[in-house]
Amino acid sequence: MLTMQENYRIAFVGFGEAAMAFVKGWQKNGELPLHAFDVKTQDSDKCIVSAKREDYARHQVVGEESLADVLKGASVVFSLVTADQAYNAAHAVAPHIEEGCLFLDCNSCAPGTKRRSAKCIEGAGGRYVDVAVMSPVYPKLHKTPLLISGRYTEVAKKLLNTLQMDIKVMEGDVGRASSVKMVRSIMMKGLEALFAECVLAGRQAGVDEEVLTSLDVTYPGFNFMERAAYSFERMTAHGKRRAEEMKEVALTIEELGLPNDMAQATVHWQSRIGNLGMVVGEDNYQSRADALLAQFNKNTEKMEAEE
């Protein structure tokens, strides 16, 4: 069972997929005093507001009306916003954070972005921890592997162990954990982009099966057809968010003084597919590739008609 002191309060800034996955995992082992604020509750679209409030209710979380409200009395803050809003969130939290509050920045950001956020939070009296989420939050929920770094890792480790989370401490300053995440993403999200370009081109040319079969011979056990189907599903569902994360990856590489051509290309492919807003159907790469190609052709025809 999870047990917390009565005066211990957890706050979420951003209540999307990752936050809901953590909460779902914790609730299997006990009840915690959880509060959340998400900017979607301030949207002009009432449907978006209603949907987010339903998320709060479904996960038995107290939904607050503002950052000031959610941070009041909070002992720990999980920041789980989109990558492009991570620093803005830290900057907005700073004026309201309680002295000594742990700020767990779980966003996928460049080390430089994390260091700027840390300066903001620690300047306001908070204790900043660089947290890297190292795999999709489903199916592992709160057991998703995390890397943490920074000066407050020991106190964060104690908290996260109490929450029965899977953590590993990276020795060093803020930025160490996020460096692992960012550099790894060059390969992981880059592979998805490579699958998209390779498989769509092969499908268009009518040689996709021959190409993927030959790749399986070269790299036995990789199962290129299955991986292609999975990559299309991931990109259509999460491409927009992945594109924002890859911008931070590109920034990371730039900070290291290296060319970031591959990361930039991955941004374009993730965005291109994510922005289609599609929900892929059958669990095979052929039908998913055909659906994407049909949508690309439809968009091209629309653009040509508008010229």
Q: State the span(s) of the chain assigned CATH 1.10.1040.10.
A: 182-306
Q: What DSSP string runs through 200-246?
A: HHHHHHT-HHHHHHHHHHHSTTS-HHHHHHHHHHHHHHHHHHHHHHH
pLDDT > 70? residue 84: yes
Query: What pairs with residue 34 in β-bridges?
Result: 10
Tell me the C-alpha distance between 223 and 215, whole Å: 9
pLDDT > 90? residue 244: yes
Would you state the CATH architecture of domain 182-306? Answer: Orthogonal Bundle (1.10)
Quickly state the pLDDT bin for 300 (edges 50, 70, 90).
Answer: confident
pLDDT > 60? residue 3: no
Give the Å distances, CA to CA, from 206 to 203, 286, 287: 5, 11, 14
pLDDT > 70? residue 196: yes
- Each residue's pLDDT tens digit, 256-270: 999 999 999 999 999
Q: State pTM to two decimals.
A: 0.88
Give the Å distances, CA to CA, from 103 to 125, 224, 275: 10, 40, 31
For residue 51, which amino acid is it?
Answer: A
Quickly state the pLDDT bin for 7 (edges 50, 70, 90).
Answer: low
Quickly state the pLDDT bin for 303 (edges 50, 70, 90).
Answer: low
Q: State the span(s) of the chain assigned CATH 3.40.50.720.
A: 10-174
For the chain, give the mean pLDDT: 93
CATH (residue range 10-174): 3.40.50.720
Taking residues 167-177, what's their average pLDDT? 95
Q: Does the CA dihedral 160-161-163-166 come out positive or negative?
A: positive
pLDDT > 70? residue 4: no
Tell me the C-alpha distance between 276 and 300, whole Å: 13
User: What is the pLDDT at residue 180?
Assistant: 97
Lowest mean pLDDT segment, chosen from 34-38, 100-104, 135-139 = 135-139
User: What is the pLDDT at residue 113?
Assistant: 95
User: What is the pLDDT at residue 282?
Assistant: 78
Taking residues 294-300, what's their average pLDDT? 86
Quickly state the pLDDT bin for 307 (edges 50, 70, 90).
Answer: low
Q: Which pair of structure tokens corresponds to residue 17? A: 């997929």
User: What is the pLDDT at residue 280?
Assistant: 80
Taking residues 291-302, what's their average pLDDT? 86
